[in-house]
Structure 1
């Protein structure tokens, strides 16, 4: 009774949807782990949305809670700043967190709890890690076909080259590397989602920044993990210095080397490479050897005839996505420069 009165006396900093998410998430956490989870009064002046206590195996810990819907890459730095040095006293509760971001949070020691039940919670005397719960059907349905693997390839083509919106279905399919029968439904969904409009007889993309941000997140969550062939390193130092001299029509640089070719403002430290060539052939051609901690990431080519932004590069959207996804501020600045120069819709 006293607990309930205290909650009423303090201003609760969440909306009804956030309240529902909080209630569902802590109930699921309790049932999955056998922990006791309760909401606490939120002290005046506390910037959290809520405050909870988790008791497990005789240990109890209080957490400030930040409640979010879907976590986007562009929110990560703000969350790190919000949690600060006291990150073990914070818990992020979200409707959905893309797997790459969950991995980032775990490596940074940021506690999170997803509506599906996946979580990483580590504080003094408490450690809970759940990573095998499927995303809820409600959340999956919200993404639509536009945001599955085929749709993302289609989106990569039209974001890189908006003129394709006014091309034949066959041209779009060939550029994206997907079956012809997908194009009509995907164009319809793009229009119904409010991502295009028509001026005269010309179809145009709108909300480009929103599309690019969303595409980047979904690419890293859905497509990229399936593309990665492994990590490697150059066998000799001179190979790293002469990477630009490699002349092959089926090698496409993304990430830092792609940015180097487009802007000239970076000397790559980490290499991202897309190719349709067999792995053994690439190892010999590039002078690479397998290394789980290597600075070269090799990925399968995931588009059709869509050209790169410059000879030897992957499409500009891929280079942007490679750079924007991490936490390196220099790479984020380069990503914005590439977006402005190569993804401005002209």
Structure 2
């Protein structure tokens, strides 16, 4: 962790999400921050989740401002209940004073590294490899050939992606093998890359289905598909009332159509996309796509109701 960089990014994010500017002395050995007339002593931290909050809560002092790389939504709620002031690099924050109250939660992790087209890991085929690594526990330690089979890509693609992930600091490749360094950060950056690079290449088709709840009692695997999007998130969490559904796969759509009776409509409530993973990767998923894919679809939608469910998926299934 680079202390000054962490603090500067957190303060910049706070100004963006809450419109609150801070005063601080860059490079100070014991940094302090003035916010709305209150001076806080800065205490730096890595990612904070409920599992590692006990020591932070025990050692906190009223005059301290906890500045973290990321604070998960559940951790943010705990810190707020305990009256512990915090900021993170995504713009999440809790600050309370005589004339100040700020509470921001659920902001996704900002992209820390370039995910531009020159990076093989964030091109379409590279994103398939990253998705396989993130979804299948232990695949990071597998042979390149096995990874290629899971991801449905050429062997050379895996080689380039592993090199990128190592150079970008997501994983470490050494004599003892490959190990995760920043799996959560990679998941966040994959979600952004999926929307931009991979999703448009999945042959999207739109339809309208008259029955908005057609997906509730149907197992799409019987037709060679899996459920994604809002309907998939609703089925996974039981929390969302979906307005749209997404199906992934190259199954027998004609057979499915005889059941749900879709009509082509560019503004319809059903989107069908090709899948981009191998059969081994999805053998234990059930009727819904992997939570990482659901998260990527929802977190890239600006609707507040979907952002809230995306945060629930991240907290409950990805963190």
Normalized against structure 2, the TM-score is what? 0.58
Give the 5 Å matches for 1:235-250. 235=210, 237=211, 240-249=212-221, 250=224
Cα 1:337/1:210, change in 2 over 3 Å: same
| Superposed displacement of residue 247, structure 1 | 2.7
- Aligned equivalent of 2:229, options 233, 252, 255: 255
Q: Within the alignment, does 1:286 sit opposite 2:246 as a pair?
A: no
Q: 2:117 & 2:204 partners in 1: Cα distance? A: 30
Does the aligned pair in 2 maintain the 1:262–1:310 contact within 8 Å?
A: no
Does the aligned pair in 2 maintain the 1:256–1:266 contact within 8 Å?
A: yes
Does the aligned pair in 2 maintain the 1:262–1:309 contact within 8 Å?
A: no
SS of aligned partner of 2:138: helix
Normalized against structure 1, the TM-score is what? 0.53
Q: Which residue of 2 aligns with 1:184?
A: 159
Does the aligned pair in 1 maintain the 2:291–2:317 contact within 8 Å?
A: yes
Choose 1 or 2 for highest CA Rg.
1
Does the aligned pair in 2 maintain the 1:251–1:274 contact within 8 Å?
A: yes
Does the aligned pair in 1 maintain the 2:220–2:227 contact within 8 Å?
A: no
Does the aligned pair in 1 maintain the 2:298–2:309 contact within 8 Å?
A: yes
| Superposed displacement of residue 198, structure 1 | 6.4
- Aligned equivalent of 2:140, options 165, 169, 185: 165
Q: Which residue of 1 aligns with 2:248?
A: 274
- Aligned equivalent of 1:299, options 273, 291, 310: 273
| Superposed displacement of residue 232, structure 1 | 0.8
| Superposed displacement of residue 166, structure 1 | 0.8
Q: Within the alignment, does 1:146 sit opposite 2:121 as a pair?
A: yes
Q: Which residue of 2 aligns with 1:207?
A: 182
Q: List per-residue Cα deviations over 1:10-34 (Å, max 9, x = no partner).
A: xxxxxxxxxxxxxxxxxxxxxxxxx
Q: List per-residue Cα deviations over 1:288-329 (Å, max 9, x = no partner).
A: 111121111111111113227741111221111111111111
SS of aligned partner of 1:186: helix
CA RMSD of aligned residues (A): 2.8
| Superposed displacement of residue 161, structure 1 | 2.3
Q: Within the alignment, does 1:337 sit opposite 2:312 as a pair?
A: yes
Q: Which residue of 1 aligns with 2:51?
A: none
* More divergent stretch after superposition (252-261 vs 193-202): 193-202
SS of aligned partner of 2:204: strand
Give the 5 Å matches for 1:1-346. 143-197=118-172, 201=176, 203-235=178-210, 237=211, 240-249=212-221, 250-277=224-251, 279-305=253-279, 306-307=281-282, 310-344=285-319
SS of aligned partner of 2:196: helix
| Superposed displacement of residue 214, structure 1 | 1.9
Does the aligned pair in 2 maintain the 1:254–1:313 contact within 8 Å?
A: yes
| Superposed displacement of residue 162, structure 1 | 4.2
Q: List per-residue Cα deviations over 1:244-287 (Å, max 9, x = no partner).
A: 32234221111111112221111221111111125444433432
Number of positions where the alignment pairs a residue of Structure 1 with one of Structure 2: 206
Does the aligned pair in 1 maintain the 2:228–2:247 contact within 8 Å?
A: yes
